[in-house]
Structure 1
């Protein structure tokens, strides 16, 4: 599976859905529906990932090694046995950190340019 489908263009930033999914998994292992809820909550409703996008993106993240599927359930008494849980890998953490650096750089640049007086 090509990494390019996770990125807006090769060598560039992650797609919005891939970024928020990795961010969601940075705190704990989660199943699909929990990821959907967390993405909506953490983005203050600005990003809504539908089930089709979620599971397509999860498959791509799995294929390139940014996440893994984990065995077992977090809470076996409450969880449905059909749920699949996902975990961020070391490579996934590194990619998320790189994305955050790109975002920080872009934000600093935008603030600098906005702070300049108009000519």
Structure 2
């Protein structure tokens, strides 16, 4: 007969709850130390699963976007950028457009050596 932990691991695998499998022991120990009730324990474990899935979705969206090259803001050389991009870069660094629920799309279109920066 399987132990309760083994049964939980089996259920987690069947339901594809990877954080449950990875975090169960640690969360059980923490719950025992701090005398959590079952709702606190479940909330913690589900929170970890939710965070893991959010991160996976974020990575998946970046991968599926098919960017030709990934760059971080700190890697950009301000002087090498078009003037329009230099104006927008400070707004990008604050990430306020995300908190406001707006999209910011920057693209470079080279036609007859013209650079156009589109902002939506």
Shorter-chain TM band: 0.3 to 0.5
> Relative contact order: is structure 1 or structure 2 higher (C-alpha 8 Å, sep ≥ 6)?
1
- Higher helix residue share: 2
- Higher strand residue share: 1
Q: TM-score scaled to structure 1, two decimals? A: 0.34
Question: Considering only CA atoms, is the larger Rg found in Structure 1 or Structure 2?
Answer: 2
